[in-house]
Amino acid sequence: MVLLNKLKKKDGGVSAIEKLINEPYSQQYFDECKFIWKNYVPERGQCTCLQGELLREIELIRYEAQDNGNVNWDDDYSYFCDFIARSLSEQPMFSGEEKAEIDAIMQHLKGCGQYAVAFASGDISENDLDPDRLAYTADNLYDIINDKIGKLQREHPEPVPYEHIPEISR
C-alpha cells in the first residue's frame, strides 16, 4: 500500500498516474501477447488459461473505452479491472513498484468507467462534465498492462489454469 501511495503522491504537481498517462510507451512483449491471443483467446467467451483471460479482459476494457467511450460500462468491466490488478499483483516476478503501477493503472481505468456511468445516470451534469475522465483512449496504459501479461507468459510459458466465472457475461 505504501508503494501505491507513492505512485499516487504529487511530485512537482504531477501524480505518478499522470506521468504514466503523459509518457509514450512502446510494447516490449508484443510477440508474447500475439502468441497468447492466437493460442488462448477464443472468438467468444472466457479463456481456459489465466494469460489468455487477462489479455482478453484488458482488450475488452480498451475496446469499450476507445470505441464506445465507456457507454456500456457495467459491473463486468469493473470486475475485470480488479481481477487484472489482483491476478498480476499475485505474480512473484513483479516488483513492488510494478505491482503499484499495475494497481494505479487499473484503478484509473476503472475510475473512468465509473465516471462514465455516473454521467450516464445523471449524477454528473453536462455543465460539470470533464470529458477526459469518461474514457481513457490512448494506448499507453493498456500497452503497459499488456506487457505485464506478456512478461507473465515469458516467465511462465505453460498455460496457468483459469476457471470460468458463470456470472461474467462479457
pLDDT interval class at 167 (50, 70, 90): very high
Q: Is the pLDDT of residue 8 over 80?
A: no
Range of the domain at 69: 42-155
Report the C-alpha gap between 116 and 124 in whole angstroms. Answer: 9
- Smallest Cα–Cα separation from 81: which of 54, 45, 51? 54
Q: How many domains does the chain have?
A: 1
- Smallest Cα–Cα separation from 139: which of 63, 29, 43, 57? 63
Q: Can you give the pLDDT at residue 7? A: 45
Q: Is residue 57 part of a domain?
A: yes
pLDDT interval class at 14 (50, 70, 90): confident
Three cell numbers written together for 34: 500475439
Q: Is residue 83 part of a domain?
A: yes
Q: Which pTM does this prediction carry?
A: 0.90
pLDDT interval class at 13 (50, 70, 90): low
pLDDT interval class at 12 (50, 70, 90): low
Report the C-alpha gap between 24 and 6 in whole angstroms. Answer: 21
Q: Is residue 168 part of a domain?
A: no
Percent above pLDDT 90 for the chain: 90
Q: Can you give the pLDDT at residue 44? A: 94
Mean pLDDT, range 95-113, rounded to an integer: 97
